[in-house]
């Protein structure tokens, strides 16, 4: 399914292989010519860190570039459906009305829930029972933070042409400088403060770019890495 972006962001993303080579350059390591040459211990560490960092950034906030929508059928007289959303639900609608999430899922088993509410248990969505079939519209933040060359979305960077869903120009400094910081892990490293500054600047700019309203002020946290 194609992503349903609420904010269209033009992206020109460096692919996985290019990000790795950029990290190697920044660390004064030798670049490689093809993906199959990434066999050294340092190469493996960089690949793992890139994946971990990419996922952490994407799951850390409610980014608009992760928003997707899916519709599913709720059959008549049925109050449960398998959750089709591969991520965190933030809005569920039926007949144009937004239903409120409640954590008390047990009330749905006794049909004593408040009107226009829903709950979840495991991977099941609990809803009121209707006399007619209903289309349930689910808006959610996807946990898929990678796009493959064929346009499919997935969780991890694996192949040469895989790309992060983090938009440019923020993806490169976030992933490259963030990965270099984590790999070295030493604030005394000669380039650590530069990497930290570039990473924090890119994160602040990404947050500012994704502000949904002039009335919303994001909270920026500066740290020295892990």
Q: Mind listing the pLDDT tens digit for each residue in 111-141?
A: 888 999 999 999 999 999 999 999 999 999 9
Contact 86, 142 (CB under 8 A): yes
Confidence of residue 44 (pLDDT cuts 50, 70, 90): very high
Measured distance CA(218)–CA(32) in Å, rounded: 39
- Sign of dihedral through CA atoms 193, 17, 88, 214? positive
- Share of the chain residues as helix, strand and coil, in percent rounded to the nearest 5: 30, 20, 45
Give me the pLDDT at residue 226, please. Answer: 40
Higher pLDDT, 214 or 174: 174
pLDDT at 92 over 60: yes
Q: Which one is predicted more confidently, 4 or 150?
A: 150
Q: Say what the pLDDT of residue 2 is.
A: 45
pLDDT of residue 212: 63
SS3 at position 112:
coil
pTM for the model stands at: 0.82
Q: How many residues does the chain have?
A: 226
**By the 8 A CB rule, do 47 and 36 touch?**
no
Question: Tell me, what's the pLDDT at 221?
Answer: 43
Per-residue pLDDT at 21: 97
Residue 223 pLDDT class (50, 70, 90 cuts): very low
- Smallest CA-to-CA distance from 164 within 16, 2, 4, 6 is with 16
pLDDT value for 149:
93
């Amino acid at each position: 399914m194609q992503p349903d972006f609420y904010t269209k962001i033009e992206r020109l993303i460096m692919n996985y292989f290019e990000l790795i080579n950029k990290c190697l350059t920044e660390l004064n390591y030798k670049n490689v010519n093809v993906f199959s040459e990434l066999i050294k211990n340092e190469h493996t560490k960089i690949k793992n860190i890139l994946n971990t960092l990419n996922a952490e950034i994407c799951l850390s906030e409610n980014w608009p570039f992760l928003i997707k929508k899916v519709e599913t059928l709720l059959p008549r007289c049925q109050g449960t459906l398998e959750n089709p959303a591969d991520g965190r639900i933030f809005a569920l609608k039926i007949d144009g009305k937004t239903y409120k999430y409640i954590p008390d899922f047990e009330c749905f088993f006794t049909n004593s829930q408040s009107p226009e509410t829903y709950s979840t248990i495991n991977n099941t969505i609990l809803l009121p029972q209707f006399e007619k079939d209903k289309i349930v519209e689910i808006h959610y933040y996807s946990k898929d933070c990678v796009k493959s060359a064929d346009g499919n979305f997935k969780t991890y960077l694996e192949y040469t042409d895989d790309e992060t869903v983090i938009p440019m120009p923020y993806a490169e400094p976030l992933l490259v400088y963030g990965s270099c910081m984590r790999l070295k892990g030493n604030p005394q490293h000669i380039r650590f403060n530069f990497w930290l500054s570039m990473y924090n600047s890119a994160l602040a700019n990404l947050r500012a770019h994704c502000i949904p309203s002039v009335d919303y002020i994001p909270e920026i946290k500066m740290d020295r890495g892990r």
